Chains A and B, each alone.
Chain A
Amino acid sequence: MYRGREGQWAFYLHRISGLGIVVFLMLHVANISSAMWGPEVSNALMKFYHQPVFQLGLLALVAGVLYHGFNGLRIILMDFTSWGVRYQRQLWYGVWVLFVVFYLPFLIRIGGNILGGGHGD
């Protein structure tokens, strides 16, 4: 059991990001599957999702996926190595280093889009 501090935060963030991802996944599958009803339906939905507020949502989503993924690797190291649990806090900081490295390109690309106002069509 974690007693507050990093491990507890790691757990809560893992759970919240997981919930966010599964909600997005459902919307995303419904959105992409709408292609079966032809270009009109599909394009109308995509245009709806190109609004800036959803772009912000995507920035949050990418952050959630990267955190959940890297922290998941940390959990696996804790499960299957002899030293993982002892160094769980250091591993968590490692998660954040990986997070920043991978998140930057997405932040620049999607953030630039939002600020550049290139939304809509």
Chain B
Amino acid sequence: MAIKSKRYEEARLEASTNLELYWWVFMRISGVVLVFMLIGHMWMNAVLMDLNKIDYDYVAKRLSQTTWKVYDWLILALGLLHGANGLRYVLDDWVRNPSRRFWTKVVVYGLIGFLFFLGSLSLFNHDFGVK
């Protein structure tokens, strides 16, 4: 079960397995990193840039640069993992029927895995053709 404690010492006692404790710690670490990366990401693309002017050329130009490939991939990986584990907490809380909970998780994890694959391909395996 997900950890409900609000203090690290209590969380350690409550964790049923080490894995559950690692997820609890991961949510905090990835969370801090994501706050700063996402504020930067939104600032660059929604305040400095006019959202309505974003098109293929703009995306291709950005994603041709290694800096933004790495930056965006970190957000992709941390965001999807943080989101997947967050969804796991929510499903454990809200879907009471065990078999329905299991199949919902299968669909959710499958979708997230597919999007991670798709996003990684577009960042590292696609030539946008911009010098």
Contacts and interface: CB of A to CB of B under 8 A. Distances in A.
Given A30-B118, A32-B59, A110-B51, 20 more contacts: A26-B115, A30-B115, A33-B115, A35-B56, A36-B121, A39-B56, A43-B55, A55-B51, A55-B52, A58-B51, A62-B42, A66-B39, A75-B6, A75-B28, A75-B31, A102-B39, A106-B42, A110-B46, A119-B52, A120-B52
A120 B55 CA distance: 11
Interface stretch (B15-23, B79-87, B96-104): B79-87
Given A30-B118, A80-B8, A109-B46, A73 B83 contact: no
Interface string B35-59: 1001100110011001110111101
A53 B80 CA distance: 25
Interface residues of B, number: 41
Identify which of B39, B52, B90, B111 gathers the most chain A CB atoms within 10 Å of its CB: B52
Given A58-B46, A62-B42, A79-B8, A35 B126 contact: yes
A105 B44 CA distance: 12
Contacts, number: 116
Interface string A42-55: 11001000100001
A119 B42 CA distance: 18
Interface in A63-121: 65-66, 69-70, 72-73, 75-76, 78-80, 85, 102, 105-106, 109-110, 113, 118-121
- Chain A at the B interface: SS class: helix
